[in-house]
Structure 1
């Protein structure tokens, strides 16, 4: 008997995105589950065209919503693929996963790492160290969970993982207005987290967070580099990061669209985080 797959998608007012997401997910031999947090647009009506497995749960934060879905949905698949409404399953990934799950996967393997292909203003951002970027979106049911962080959460898999060759497309914005608004919100969460970490003793996370390791898997290595980045002084680190990313890692090869993306995501966003941390340190109003 072959392994089976469930797909879990989170939604909130995603009428612009969700149809394309569901159409791509339908390429997989899988049951699709949607967890909505109170959409008031056409999101639910669109989802009903693809699945009857639609559930409602109030949104507190991304990690709690993901873990609620994993713990409370009537999942029956051997494996779980976690998607957002702005994700697209590529035809290559669908073909690879359908082939993998047409037979029983090695019992020693509990997760797959899938690279994200960022699409910004209809352009694939291929340089600046932004591709490939792996995430553990897919794991054996019962062997994965989402880190309980306010921002930059990753899925943590208990056991051995394997990287896949095919990608998930991540359409990260439909406009610069929504891009800057979302990143302003995320900057607030990240600044609050870093500020709190700097002002309290290190606590044992009981293995709930991904531990940084230079020679670990791609996700552990990214967490290690992020910790190194955080050790640099405020306002200096965004300059260093952008310089490395845009010039040394060839971000400029992404053209004018790439310049917009790398500057906003690789400098402005991180400078904004530092500015908000600086405000907190000066005793400003809580973010």
Structure 2
């Protein structure tokens, strides 16, 4: 039987860390918390709950945080969870079965997002499929923000869902949007990507149309409208910061 470890990234997650650890414990053998400098009780609570806690200095690189965990356990499989995510009972049972599988695979499941007190069905926050379980020796993450896994093994989709309880307030969204767009712009500029002022506005408008029309955000009513406007602003901010970097150079 193979061993499964859950990896949780954290920074100042004292309100979430106990619940996500207790949720993950229903399906895994070991829980690893990678903390990037919490100043609240996150680390204390995680250790009290039986998790192994490791520190990695935050350097604006989400992939590096995820890759850092790979040699902190001898587990055969890694399950990645965010601190504000909770697996359904059905998904927990599905994850348990992975330990009995003979062939190495990567596994995905559906994610449902609840933001600002609303559970989205359409638009940019619509339910989506995320790949989160990998053989430890066959996974590597890339991109500093909006990181993505690189794994060449066949993929299997599990039954059940994970609920993502994100963004309690507009301020929280704005803080993260500012952080993520800055990381994206600097990383994209380093890789040779460039933008003009006009293309920044164009990308922003397309982001709104994609979220509100193409992905049917309008069916979520006012929640769909403001999430689409948020996406417009977020996308515009990404490309405007990229434009500013090139303009300053």
Question: What TM-score results when the alignment is normalised by the length of structure 2?
Answer: 0.89
Which residue is equivalent to 1:211? none
Query: Contact 1:115 / 1:131 at 8 angstroms: preserved in 2?
Result: no
Distance 1:54 1:194 in 2: 31
Please, what is the CA RMSD of the aligned residues? 2.2
Q: Deviations over 1:21-80 (max 9, x none)?
A: 122212214211112222221112221232142222322222112111112x1x232211
Residue 150 of structure 1 deviates from its aligned partner by 1.8
Which residue is equivalent to 2:68? 68
Quick one: structure 1 residues 183 and 92, their matched pair in 2 at CA, closer, same or farther if it must change by over 3 Å? same
Hey, which of these two has a bigger chunk of helix by percent?
A: 2
Which residue is equivalent to 1:253? 219
Q: Deviations over 1:259-281 (max 9, x none)?
A: 222221x2110011122122223
Quick one: structure 1 residues 77 and 253, their matched pair in 2 at CA, closer, same or farther if it must change by over 3 Å? same
Distance 1:135 1:112 in 2: 9
Q: Deviations over 1:236-275 (max 9, x none)?
A: 12212311321232111222223222221x2110011122
Please list every run of at least 4 consecutive aligned residues from structure 1 whose deviation after the TM superposition is greater than 6 angstroms: none
Distance 1:39 1:244 in 2: 36
Q: Deviations over 1:139-189 (max 9, x none)?
A: 012111211x22111111132122223222222222210111111111111
- Is 1:118 the counterpart of 2:84? The answer is no
* Mapping for residues 97-246 of structure 1, pairs under 5 Å: 97-101=95-99, 103=100, 105-107=101-103, 109-128=104-123, 130-147=125-142, 149-198=143-192, 233-246=199-212
Residue 134 of structure 1 deviates from its aligned partner by 2.6
Query: Contact 1:121 / 1:174 at 8 angstroms: preserved in 2?
Result: yes
Give the SS at the match of 2:18: helix
Distance 1:161 1:77 in 2: 19
Distance 2:247 2:28 in 1: 54
- For structure 1, list consecutive stretches of 5 or more residues without a partner in the other structure: 201-231
Larger RCO, structures 1/2 (Cα 8 Å, 6+ apart): 2
- For structure 2, list consecutive stretches of 5 or more residues without a partner in the other structure: none
